[in-house]
Structure 1
Amino acid sequence: MERRKILLGSGAALATVLAGCSSDETGDDSESNNDGDDNDDESLGGNGNGDTNETETDTKPKVPGLDSDKLTLDSDKISIKDVNKDGDEVDVVATTTTTDPERLRTELESLGRALAAAITDREKFKAEIKSVTWVLESDGAKVMSFYVDVQWAIAFINDEMSEDEFIETVLDTTDET
């Protein structure tokens, strides 16, 4: 469990640093006076006509059996910022406007339904992913983290676990800071 905490913390920090770097790079590109367009370089994924063959989101490893665009919580306090795959684990980084643990628990009540809507191929997801780790941040600082074992998510989707049981099981893994 200690390994997970370290990985979560370093992953969140890395995501924050990378997000800041990409913002700076975007600003620099618009101000540059280069004669050539970076997108024209065929070795970088361009076709020589200023178009790229890949978008930035295409370079991220896709999560098998999960449509991350459908992964949305029914919450006005929590919004998902990033979904990344690392081996057989998925990391979800979300931002929150509250740091109250009880309010966060209430806001997470739709978690089971959100996962059920986002998992498009149960068998593929179950075969390739073992857990989904969530980190909730407020102003760049970690507020809470928890994980969802894929077996729990599949049990919930298959009506083998009630929504209350699912949420309680997941929230038992909570690490609040």
Structure 2
Amino acid sequence: MERRKILLGSGATLATVLAGCSSDETGDESNQNDGSDGSLNGDGNGNGSDDSSESDNTADIPGFDRDKLKLDSEKVTVEDVNKAAKEIDVVATTTTTDPETLFAELESLGPDMKRAITDPEAFAAAVDSVAWVLEKDGAMVMSFTVDVAWATEYINGEMDQAEFMEHVRETADKSH
């Protein structure tokens, strides 16, 4: 996630530098506060954040309530949820590095995602997958992906919890 923040920040800085150069060279004092460089919200008042693309990614995900994405786990806690293109990135912290303990803690993942997906059709139209990264002390312990088709099948009762978790296990990358 840090790499994305660094890249976005350096892109905004480069855009600002380039905008300043073109303005100085041409003497054109046209309105540079149109929001196109990501530093403003487009109203020309400078009320936007320095990283509007990230704030857009954390704002609305159709059919999904990020506040309801809480795991029923004492060892895994959701820290950050972002949308990039048609993927949601979830970063969670954990107090364990044991893969079997983690999967036991993730047994509630189906019901937990079902609670957060408020409109399965809108969600499926906007998102293809949910990429999870579990970290302990800043180091990745495990990552896995939930295909939105699986989540939708689970929500609609077309897939049981055991089958859902088997699909998730198949995508797991354990760095431990």
Partner of 1:51: none
Give the secondary structure class of the aligned counterpart of 2:141. strand
1:110/1:17 Cα in 2 relative to 1: closer, same or farther (>3 Å)? farther
The TM-score with structure 1 as length reference comes to 0.70
Within-5 A mapping of 1:1-177: 11=1, 13-14=3-4, 43-45=45-47, 60-177=58-175
Deviations 1:132-156 (A, max 9, x none): 0000000000000000000000000
CA displacement at 1:43 relative to structure 2: 2.0
From the superposition, tell whether residues 13 and 152 of structure 1 become closer, same or farther in structure 2 (CA, over 3 Å). Answer: same
Q: For residue 45 of structure 1, report the CA deviation from its aligned partner.
A: 1.8
Identity of aligned residues (%): 54
What one-letter code is carried by the residue in structure 2 that aligns with 1:67?
A: D
Question: Displacement of 1:60 after TM fit?
Answer: 2.7
For residues 7-48 of structure 1, give each alpha carbon's deviation from its aligned partner in whole angstroms, at most 9, with x where no partner exists: xxxx35546999xxxxxxxxxxxxxxxxxxxxxxx82328xx
Residue in structure 1 matched with residue 39 of structure 2 by the alignment: none
Partner amino acid for 1:134? Answer: W
Q: Secondary structure at the match of 1:43?
A: coil
CA distance in 2, matches of 1:137, 1:113: 22
> Cα–Cα, structure 1 residues 12 and 116, in superposed 2: closer, same or farther, change >3 Å?
farther
Runs (4 or more) in structure 1 with deviation over 2 Å come to 11-18, 56-61
Question: How many residues end up aligned between the 2 structures?
Answer: 136
- Structure 2 distance, partners of 1:140, 1:15, is 15
Specify every segment of 5 or more residues in structure 1 that has no aligned partner in the other structure, as ranges: 1-10, 19-41, 47-55
Counterparts in 2 of 1:15 and 1:139: CA distance versus 1, 3 Å: farther
Q: TM-score, normalised by structure 2?
A: 0.71
Q: CA RMSD in A?
A: 2.4
* Structure 2 CA distance for partners of 1:15 and 1:76, relative to 1, 3 Å: farther
Write out per-residue CA displacement over residues 100-142 of structure 1, whole angstroms, 9 at most, x where no aligned residue.
Answer: 1110010000000011000011110011100000000000000
Distance 1:16 1:83, change over 3 A: farther
Q: 1:76 to 1:13 in 2, by over 3 A?
A: farther
The one of the two structures with greater contact order (alpha-carbon pairs below 8 A, sep at least 6) is: 1
Matched residue of 1:161: which SS?
Answer: coil
Q: Pick the structure with greater CA Rg.
A: 2
Equivalents in 2 of 1:106, 1:146: separation in Å? 14
